[in-house]
């Protein structure tokens, strides 16, 4: 610290000497003013835009405890509150110290600084629930989750937490509709766990199981699909990881991205023949049997994810009038 101060003083004096030497003959009063004002202005500017605390050896020393680290971070944010990363880190530290109210407020400060950061917004909604004595998502948290899903429908954490909030509010049917699209985004084990929660919510809402609904629905029918690979796709399939999956998807023709029916299969038997029906619909409020036409496509996902990614191979979408009697043939093409 002493060396730093001496260097700063030396640089200030050198600058001062040059200025006063140049001004001493032509403008002695100006030279006197410069001699007085420059050190004052330099010191004041450092206090305004500098970091005086950085000269303190205690600030350079690593903190001995989480509490000390939190105290330092609090001081830093008090000096400059425009640090979303700092507020987020402070909020997580408060959570680690079992201070949920403080964690909620700190993460909220970060969320207000970065309103378009989906992950941060979801973490803030979760922090609001954790600060509630009953661990409930309040109206503000629900609003945040819905805004995130409006921007990013495939955001898994937002969809999961919104479903929990809907169940807490007694909207079990809404939770079923919110959670069901997650089934195509999760691995088999996690999807099975979620499916059990969906079944509980479905029963609480008095909704029939998908199999029962398909069997008793007056307009229910099946859509038969056959998927094949061209030679280029077969060659590329051999180089894909074991996590690769095939998604066969039927969507409404109005451009809605959410499928009305979807199945995921391992790419181990070709041609792949499946049957899509109302039981494969992710949304109980919109079923295959209620539409006049759909667009059917198949996608070979290299990662096994329902989200499109580089390296995926797809078929051309086929428009099908419903009900369809014939098998729909889809050909997944590889890169030439």
Taking only the tens place, the pLDDT of each residue in 66-91 is: 778 888 889 999 999 999 999 999 99
Among residues 145, 167, 168, 164, which one has the least CA distance to residue 155?
A: 145
Two structure tokens written together for 209: 């199981």
Looking at residue 64, its pLDDT comes to 65
pLDDT digits (tens, 9 = 90+) for 82-120: 999 999 999 999 998 899 999 999 999 999 999 999 999
pLDDT digits (tens, 9 = 90+) for 306-330: 778 888 899 999 999 888 888 899 9
Helix (H, G, I), strand (E, B) or coil at 259: coil
Degrees, nearest 5: CA angle 245-250-252: 145
Neighbours of 15 (CB within 10 A): 14
* Distance between start and end Cα atoms, the chain: 65
Give this prediction's pTM. 0.52
The answer to whether 123 touches 94, Cβ cutoff 8 Å, is no
pLDDT digits (tens, 9 = 90+) for 269-278: 788 888 888 7
Among residues 294, 298, 299, which one has the least CA distance to residue 319?
A: 294
Crossing angle of helices 139-151 and 156-168, rounded to 10°: 140
What is the enclosing helix (H) or strand (E) of 100?
Answer: helix 100-113
Higher per-residue confidence, 64 vs 20: 64
pLDDT for residue 282 is more than 80: no
Looking at residue 289, its pLDDT comes to 78
Confidence of residue 57 (pLDDT cuts 50, 70, 90): low
Share of the chain above pLDDT 90, in %: 37
Looking at residue 125, its pLDDT comes to 97
Q: Exposed/middle/buried for 7, CB within 10 Å: 0-12, 13-18, 19+?
A: exposed
Higher per-residue confidence, 56 vs 232: 232
Q: What is the mean pLDDT of the chain?
A: 80
Distance CA 143, CA 88 (A): 20
Looking at residue 195, its pLDDT comes to 85
Higher per-residue confidence, 56 vs 312: 312
Distance CA 19, CA 179 (A): 72
Looking at residue 148, its pLDDT comes to 94
Among residues 70, 81, 144, 78, which one has the least CA distance to residue 109?
A: 81
Neighbours of 295 (CB within 10 A): 17
What is the enclosing helix (H) or strand (E) of 150?
Answer: helix 139-151
pLDDT digits (tens, 9 = 90+) for 199-228: 889 889 888 766 554 444 433 457 889 999
Looking at residue 28, its pLDDT comes to 55
What are the distances in angstroms from CA 285 to CA 159, 173, 176, 203, 299?
Answer: 17, 10, 10, 16, 25
Distance CA 315, CA 299 (A): 6
Higher per-residue confidence, 293 vs 66: 293
Among residues 128, 189, 179, which one has the least CA distance to residue 158?
A: 179
């Amino acid at each position: 610290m002493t060396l730093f101060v001496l260097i700063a003083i030396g640089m200030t004096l050198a600058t001062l000497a040059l200025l006063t030497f140049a001004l001493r003959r032509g403008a002695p009063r100006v030279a006197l003013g410069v001699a007085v004002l420059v050190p004052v202005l330099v010191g004041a500017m450092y206090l305004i835009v500098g970091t005086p605390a950085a000269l303190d050896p205690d600030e350079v020393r690593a903190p001995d405890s989480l509490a000390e680290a939190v105290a330092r971070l609090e001081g830093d944010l008090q000096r400059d509150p425009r640090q979303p990363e700092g507020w987020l880190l402070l909020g997580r530290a408060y959570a680690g110290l079992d201070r949920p109210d403080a964690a909620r407020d700190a993460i909220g400060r970060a969320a207000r600084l970065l309103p378009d950061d989906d992950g941060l917004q979801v973490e803030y909604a979760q922090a609001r629930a954790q600060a509630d004595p009953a661990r409930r998502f309040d109206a503000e948290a629900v609003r945040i989750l819905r805004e995130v899903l409006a921007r990013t429908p495939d955001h898994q954490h937002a969809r999961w937490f919104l479903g929990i909030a809907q169940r807490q509010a007694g909207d079990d049917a809404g939770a079923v509709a919110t959670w069901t699209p997650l089934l195509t985004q999760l691995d088999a084990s996690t999807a099975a766990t979620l499916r059990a929660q969906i079944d509980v919510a479905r029963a609480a809402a008095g909704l029939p199981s998908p199999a029962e609904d398909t069997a008793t629905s007056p307009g229910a029918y099946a859509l038969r699909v056959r998927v094949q690979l061209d030679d280029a796709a077969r060659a590329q399939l051999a180089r894909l990881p074991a996590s690769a999956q095939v998604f066969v998807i039927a969507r409404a023709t109005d451009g809605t991205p959410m499928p009305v029916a979807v199945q995921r299969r391992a790419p181990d038997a070709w041609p792949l023949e499946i049957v899509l029906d109302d039981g494969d619909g992710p949304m109980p409020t919109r079923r295959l049997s209620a539409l006049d036409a759909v667009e059917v496509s198949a996608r070979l996902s290299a990662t096994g994810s329902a989200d499109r990614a580089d390296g995926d191979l797809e078929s051309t979408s086929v428009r099908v009038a419903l009900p369809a009697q014939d098998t729909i043939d889809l050909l997944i093409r590889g890169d030439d």
